[in-house]
Structure 1
Amino acid sequence: MEQFDNEVLSLLEELKQKHDIRFETHDENYCGVSQQNNTATVFYNPKQFNNASIAHELLHVWLSKFEYHVGSHIYLMCLSDPKLSKIMTKFLCDYIENLFDHNKMYPKYKEMGYSDEDFIVNGLEQKCSISDIKQLSLSFLNVYNANSINRFIGYLLSIYADHVFHDYLEHLSLLKNKNAELFKIVTVFWNRWLIFDVTVIDPIFNSSYEISNSFLDEMETWVANKKIK
């Protein structure tokens, strides 16, 4: 496609060595990518064509060569758990996978010369609002709400994964006051991801499964004596 800039064309050439890259149009206001085995299909709106958005989706494909799995592993491991399956929904686990991808692809995205604003939709906006957090009610009469826990995890990770600086001090304080133990579990989970080197994955010494399994162990302990609805 003649609209591609040199950075996208260069990345495409690299990816085509191992992938069949296809492009399809859609009417949405964002780009997306679907991967199955070695075939990747990038969806884009021709009326809103943006090389940075195309590069973003191709970087998801680029990351797949490192074969790490966090969100998908968490989802599968929670399916048979009567409590965690209510919290770690497919949507949340896909969201975690996406945020973790963004963290690892962002340096390469910036090396390609693209702007912070175009990294994601509404790229310069805060990723979570004070009002959203204040509306969270994790429990009532010692019964915990699975959807609220789900959103707590999503809100906190979205703050940590923000690629531009915002003052989130009040957000973080509010979340921590909601539940300090859960706050710590999610924070440790994110910090383990930050130091994880996706380019040197080793099943013993540097595995993404260790990160997700540690998170799940801590979540299992946290929900153990709680009623989750």
Structure 2
Amino acid sequence: MKYLYLNGKNSVALTYIEDSSKKSIVKDVFIDNIVHVFKDGENPNKEAYAEEIKRNSYKKLLNNQFENLAILTGAGSSVDIGNADKKGKILSQLWDDSENELTKDKFTLLCEKLNYDDKYDDGEIIKNLEKLLSIANTAKDYIPKDEIDIADCVDKIKNVIKGIDKKGEHEPVIENGNVIIENSDLKLTSNQDYIVYQFDFILRFVKN
């Protein structure tokens, strides 16, 4: 069962089966944990129906005009959000992009100078770009530039990350609300303020 909406006793969920070509298709729609019975003769788009109920549920919830609204997003919440080359990426993908920006040889040298050698049990390097940048920011004033310009490497890596951030299209995350929140003192806080603020006004969810 896949939940599209879950809030206390209220929920919207789907179950799936495989057709003859092994493709997953929607079997049943559950509203508040009760299977929805469509009328005889109907051939509904069950997934579209569930999406509509989900959107209406969000709208009903948000129309309560809460004084404060917090959107809490976790690691990976931006992954595959967006269009074409503008999709959010995980740390390992940003690591690869940074390696391409610096060149493989220079990126390898950077890891060596920073003594970054975290590896999995199978010997594969752990692509933790956050940790690498943390070490680099501490070490950049102590490693001679004639060996490698750590500060320059850090700036280039940050530009790679900023490039993804500026291109981020998080409309699919925000559009579920489909509601205008009237609150002149509204503060919308998350760990992705930049992107969330960028699109809440584009989609007209917040009215000052």
TM-score normalised by length of structure 1 = 0.24
More helix by share: 1
